[in-house]
Chains A and B, each alone.
Chain A
């Protein structure tokens, strides 16, 4: 009964979305404000109806209405109420609905906040964004409907899924459901899908504004960029958090001791992140200098297309992956939609290409402008390398008949040097002046940080002379870090001398006066911390495996792990736990007890390995219980020592803080007010000093 409400709400939301798409396009084309306003109202109604639909799914998961096929698939009695709710995105049907709901929510928010401001762009913004939303709502309604029921047809051996009762059938109410895949019951996997979806759907907003700007010819100006800057930042940070949570999940759950494996699903998410990052930077050139308008358009179209592309390849099984979703009928519809988006946006871009001329040319090879061009090229090159490696299995199969999967070494070798240059650029480019940078002046600024980092790298190199490759990586991190810190130092010094503030007030005010700049620097530092994790993973990883009897120890580096005994007990969420009691010591001194476990999920008949981890800023000792024998008298362990890995998570947190600072509304910036031109859709900003 309740499910019927959800189905009806979903159907109405679909009709409103389709209506909004056409009404706004029609209103924009014929310059009729009433149609556009009607479209806006349709969007503002579609969202609450979708919300009802989502609430019904969540409620059904919570109360375990197993007559719904989706609930039967992903929920079970043994799951805690919290896990049942998160099962909304635990399977295909729920996650598509969730995705559509987020997207509609974003579009509605824009219409509530920006309606007065960007009237000229609105008709085509609504049309573009709601076309996408209507597509996802349509998929949720017609292809992956979460309200399908289970029916038992007379004489059939298998259950049938259908919205309405088939002939000769009885409704079927299972006792219990399959439950969420145990591997997904981890905070990383609970947080990863929603953040990823927020990131992907968030990019719909700048993309739709870009398309609207192209259609209306407003692309010449940079209004659409100013409007969407914060949206882009929000989408970008959610995508970043999604990537990091995914890595954390892999590290904690998959049990191979790493956090990044260049798997197609990971690449699918990395590619839009790369182009999105380039876009975030590139738009500054348009704001400040009226340049790189073509780049911005290409980058935002690419970002959005790659987000769709990633969703497509992972959800349809076109490229097999470790964590591909179950196959579904989604493929053809998604393919048609992707084709339409690619061809449509490129066509519009082509028709408006001439409006995107730069207002200035590059004046010098060493300048802020040329640094931006270089960073865009680097990001694109990395994206292309990742793209090539990801679709290579398809190409190789088409050409030679053999599917060749390129492994992590390809990605590391090709993207490594490019990332190296990019990180270096990240340190130096902010020092470049606009238009032209005098080399002598640049030298004056960078020689101290450069020498300091060289010194540190030499000391580091001496300590780690066994790992010469790490020296280059560490030097890179130190030189870039010291260049960024020098910027903070200079700013603080200036405030101290001119305003006689104490260092902390100076730092606080420095950031407060220029959110974007210093928020950006903080994000740059966080990227360096994450790079440290990759350097540690590539250079210092230790690994051993062995079987020991009770009382015996395994040794790895300076660490010893003593196996004491095994114990078993029932755990929460329907699992039986077998836990090893071990003691970790370093050079003979006891550090602490570690309890690597094997959780066996009874209903799913699936074991999950939970590592025992001793974590410090420098390194993690990561112990896996591989197996046991003789009734628990001996056990096999795999031990990793992962250096610097924690800096990935610390960097992730810092990235969030930096983004919040960068996106914060700056009270010192000029306030903008807008007036509606009489009798029409157009509005123009009037700049007024605030």
Chain B
């Protein structure tokens, strides 16, 4: 049964040459292996944790209020990047503490950036209003920033030192005095 040649009388199409077939299968396998390689790489990245060290990926975000801020232009200041969403209950746990800490350090060389992850504007605005959040908050359009930081979920907070390097990440809601301690530590660093 196996490997028999067809004996159909109506067979009119010439058999493809062995070479053509071989090239076809090599190309097909190359494509499949490339795809599998790509998926394996993506999977490894997805399973790896968020970025914790190295230079913080740069981004520019436009706030709901129209303000724009670019991370790389904030050298010399400590930057707290907080990913959140209005649909995320744990975010609500830390929202008041974040705003309180921001007001405490405002004007002392600390910048807070709220990155709103996969959200709808109206809910996000209601959330900002509810917690009376005054630091810049903007939508992460196309989840580009979240992807650059490889976040695991929301809330997640990244700490950027004065020289633009990442100095760790906190997954889940923060409680007093975690953020205060981290900011004090980063403010103490020397920057030329």
Contacts and interface: CB of A to CB of B under 8 A. Distances in A.
Contacts of A407: 142
A398 B13 contact: no
Contacts of B38: 391, 394-395, 398
Interface in A388-407: 391, 393-395, 397-398, 402-405, 407
Contacts of A322: 118
B109 interface: no
Interface string B124-139: 0110010000000000
Contacts of A604: 89
Interface stretch (A142-150, A192-200, A347-355): A347-355
Interface string B80-115: 000000110100100000000000000000000000
A216 interface: yes
A238 B70 CA distance: 47
Q: Which of B4, B120, B146 has the most CB of A within 10 A?
A: B120
A466 B172 CA distance: 51
B4 to A, nearest CB: 7
Contact of B25 (A342, A350, A605): A350
A318 B25 contact: no
Interface string B1-42: 110111010111101000001000100110010011011111
A217 B4 contact: yes
Q: Which of B10, B15, B146 has the most CB of A within 10 A?
A: B10
Contacts, number: 115
B147 interface: yes
B39 A361 contact: no
A357 B13 contact: yes
A320 B6 CA distance: 48
Contact of A327 (B4, B143, B152): B152
A340 to B, nearest CB: 10
Chain B interface mostly helix, strand, loop or mixed?
Answer: helix
Contacts of B122: 255, 609, 624, 626-627, 636, 638
B188 interface: no
B123 interface: yes
A394 B10 contact: no
Contacts of A319: 42
A61 B122 CA distance: 34
B85 to A, nearest CB: 10
Contacts of B13: 357-358, 361
A322 B42 CA distance: 17
A335 B13 CA distance: 39
Q: Which of B6, B86, B120, B122 has the most CB of A within 10 A?
A: B122
A624 B122 CA distance: 10
A418 to B, nearest CB: 21
A338 B25 CA distance: 19
Contact of B40 (A335, A342, A350, A624): A335
A359 B40 contact: no
A314 B5 CA distance: 43
B47 interface: yes
A319 B43 CA distance: 9
A359 B148 contact: no
A354 B15 contact: yes
A339 interface: yes
Contacts of B123: 607, 609
A638 B2 CA distance: 66
A362 to B, nearest CB: 10
A566 interface: no
Contacts of B86: 607
Contact of B89 (A404, A606, A638): A606
B144 interface: yes
Interface in A608-648: 609, 624, 626-627, 636, 638
A155 B89 CA distance: 26
A407 B35 CA distance: 22
Contacts of A355: 6
28 contacts: A217-B2, A255-B120, A290-B10, A312-B39, A313-B39, A316-B43, A318-B46, A319-B42, A322-B118, A327-B152, A331-B46, A335-B39, A338-B36, A339-B36, A354-B6, A358-B13, A359-B10, A394-B41, A403-B147, A403-B148, A405-B143, A405-B144, A604-B89, A605-B89, A605-B92, A607-B86, A609-B123, A624-B122
Interface of A: 183, 216-217, 220, 254-256, 290, 312-313, 316-320, 322, 327, 331-332, 335, 338-339, 342-343, 346, 350, 353-355, 357-361, 391, 393-395, 397-398, 402-405, 407, 604-607, 609, 624, 626-627, 636, 638
